[in-house]
Amino acid sequence: MLNKMRMKLSEGFTLVEILVVLVIVAILAAIAFVSYSPIVDKGYAAEAEQYIKDVAGATSIYEQANGGRTPTVEDLKEMGLIDPTDALELNWEISVSGKKISAISTEEMPGGAGETVEYDRQTSKFSGYGFGASD
């Protein structure tokens, strides 16, 4: 009986045992990825959120000084009302149109291109990428 146990211990794992372990690890990895992905999106969106908040504040100042005329991001930069970092400008394209400010991710953004974060200036609410709804 002792010899049988020694022989079993020295044989190692069977292919089926190894495959079962790999399937379990793959399932756990898939669950982790699905849970982790929205957290990463929210992190990328936080960058756009801060940029949009800066643009929103500067837009209000610009509109008061220019009779309500809506500025472009270039107008805000020229007047020194915003000074975005190079990384922000590489990752996000900002547009101001009326009461909405949008940030669209570029190819340079690690989360991928074409993701949109929108800000409604009247309600002060964000929507889109990283905020529970993706465009």
Question: Could you read off the pLDDT of 24-45 as tens digits, one per residue?
Answer: 999 999 888 888 878 888 888 8
Residue owning tokens 């101001």: 96
d(CA 128, CA 53): 15
Instruction: Give Cα 1 to chain centroid, integer Å.
Output: 60
Per-range mean pLDDT, top range of 2-16, 35-49, 87-101, 120-134? 87-101
d(CA 86, CA 82): 12
Side chain identity, residue 118? E
pTM for the model stands at: 0.70
d(CA 117, CA 91): 12
Domain limits, the chain = 38-135
- Number of neighbours of residue 32 by Cβ within 10 angstroms: 10
Residues 77-87: tens digit of each pLDDT? 999 999 999 98
